[in-house]
Amino acid sequence: MRPGFDVVRTARIVRRVVDETGLDLRGLDVLTEAATGPFAATAAMAAFAGADEVVALARDSSFGSAEDAFAATTRLAQELGATKPLRFITSLSEEVVNAATIITNCRHLRPLDRAVVESMNPQAVVSLMYEGWEHRPGDVDRTACEERHIPLVGTNEMDPRVGVFDYLGPAATKLLTDAGFEILRTRVLLVCDNPFRPFLRDHLSRCGAAVETVETLNDELPGGAIDVVLVAAKPGVKVTIGPTEARRLAIAYPGTCVAQFWGDLDRAALLSLGISVWPLDSPGAGRMGILLSDLGPEPAVRLQAGGLKVGEILARARQLDHSHDGYVNAIRAAIDSGFGSPLDGQEELLK
């Protein structure tokens, strides 16, 4: 169990967010994860929201053992007064996958590869617990879902009923203060090519930082000294800062620091040129340098609630119409609700 996990406060947040989102999973079966810390909320919240069955998978990880995850999830479900029992597993089977109505792409379930997708019930739906444009092919086999007409939709983290993007600025502030920067009067170069940009820029500016922005380090760089380069770029095949970009930074801003919010870095190249990097250790390819859950439980609870709500809307629509048109209409219903976030190219499907 993560240090500082306050089960009473987390339960209070879950109740409030379930009410705000109108999450109602009655009549639906959910396959998700059991986890420690705030992410224990996913399965516990599904049970609290009335799912007929919640199957929660956990594996041993750096955050704790599977048993730790089962214990944390059980404890939170009990605090919530969830009446439906949770079923805990440590591996997936075709039977478990086939029985689920809503399947989430949570960490312990990933990857939902072709073999898993082909085991799904024809009326199953998959909810991405992040924005659709953030979809990582290694998380869910989108092609297999499309071939089988399994609706796959992301979560609109900007919808005010979910409100996860509101925590991006505070997370950046924490990342920079942990790196030794005061924020106030700190000159920040924000490298951002995605919808994170206004949330990060505006929050840091309100906190007194002088913020310059570029989409990539191939753009024209602002003159003068830069205290810290905050990287918040969508990871891709190519690292955001490789040897070429590192050399450009070293020439433009000798001795600066690079703070990794999101976007992969060549740490060796940066350090060899006298540019410090934070966090010191890589979070792993494609992963964020700080988790929103590092701020406390609410952002994690809100994200998971939003993802489950997307699953609920997809599943209800799919139950009404089992045809190909029903598949398309389920995706449309989730997006039109404001809770769903389309994957790249899904707008064409909905025309």
- Which CATH number belongs to the domain containing residue 211 in this structure? 3.40.50.720
Domain-terminating residue out of 243, 278, 313: 278
Q: Give the burial class of 228: count Cβ atoms within 10 A of its Cβ; 0-12 exposed, 13-18 middle, 19 or more buried.
A: buried
Beta pairing partners, 233: none
Number of helical (H) and strand (E) elements in the chain, helices listed first = 13, 12
Here the contacts of 195-201 (C-beta below 8 Å, separation 24 or greater) are 195/131, 195/133, 195/158, 195/165, 196/165, 196/168, 196/232, 196/261, 196/262, 197/232, 199/165, 199/166, 199/168, 199/169, 200/168, 200/169, 200/172, 200/230, 200/232, 200/261
CA-wise closest residue to 172 among 194, 192, 210, 200: 200
Q: Is residue 286 part of a domain?
A: no
CA distance 67 to 76: 14
Q: Tell whether 20 is covered by a domain.
A: yes
Same domain, 103 and 141: yes
Domain end residue (candidates: 278, 305, 333): 278
Q: Are residues 273 and 299 in the same domain?
A: no
Domain that residue 136 falls in = 7-162+295-349
| Pair 27, 108 in one domain | yes
Q: Is residue 2 situated within a structural domain?
A: no
Residues 28 and 106 placed together within one structural domain of the fold: yes
Residues 40 and 158 in one domain: yes
Q: Where are the alpha helices (DSSP H) in 179-323?
A: 196-206, 243-252, 267-272, 297-320
The whole-number pLDDT of residue 137 equals 83
Q: What is the pLDDT of residue 136?
A: 86
Tally the domains of the chain: 2
| Last residue within a domain, chosen from 232, 249, 278 | 278
The reply to whether 343 falls in a domain is: yes
Output the pLDDT for position 1.
39
CB 33 within 8 A of CB 307: no
CA dist., res. 21 & res. 301, Å (int): 12
Residue 4: what pLDDT? 61
- The strand order across the sheet containing 102-104 reads 86-89, 53-57, 29-33, 102-104, 125-127, 152-155, 340-341
Check whether residue 48 and residue 150 sit in a common domain.
yes
Residues 247 and 341 in one domain: no
Residues 274 and 299 grouped into a single domain = no
Contact between 72 and 36 (Cβ < 8 Å): yes
284 lies in some domain: no
Instruction: Sort residue 27 into left (φ over 0), alpha (ψ -120 to 50) or beta.
Output: left
Whether residue 329 is found in the same domain as residue 259: no
* 277 three-class SS: strand
Say if 130 falls within a structural domain.
yes
pLDDT of res. 116 = 97
Q: Residues 156, 301: one domain?
A: yes
Contact 339, 156 (CB under 8 A): yes
State how far the Cα of 222 lies from the Cα of 238, in Å rounded to an integer: 24
Tens of each residue's pLDDT in the chain, 351 residues = 344 689 999 999 999 999 999 999 999 999 999 999 999 999 999 999 999 999 999 999 888 899 999 999 999 999 999 988 899 999 999 999 999 999 999 989 999 999 999 999 999 999 999 999 999 888 999 999 999 999 999 999 999 999 999 999 999 999 999 999 999 999 999 999 999 999 999 999 999 999 999 999 999 999 999 999 999 999 887 899 999 999 999 999 999 999 999 999 999 999 999 999 999 999 998 889 999 999 999 999 999 999 999 999 999 999 998 888 999 999 999 999 999 999 998 987 777
Could you tell me if residue 168 is inside a domain? no
Looking at the fold, whether 198 and 304 belong to one and the same domain comes out as no
123 and 210 share one domain: no
Residue 103 lies in a domain: yes
Residues whose CB falls within 8 Å of the CB of residue 115, separated by 6 or more in sequence, listed in order: none
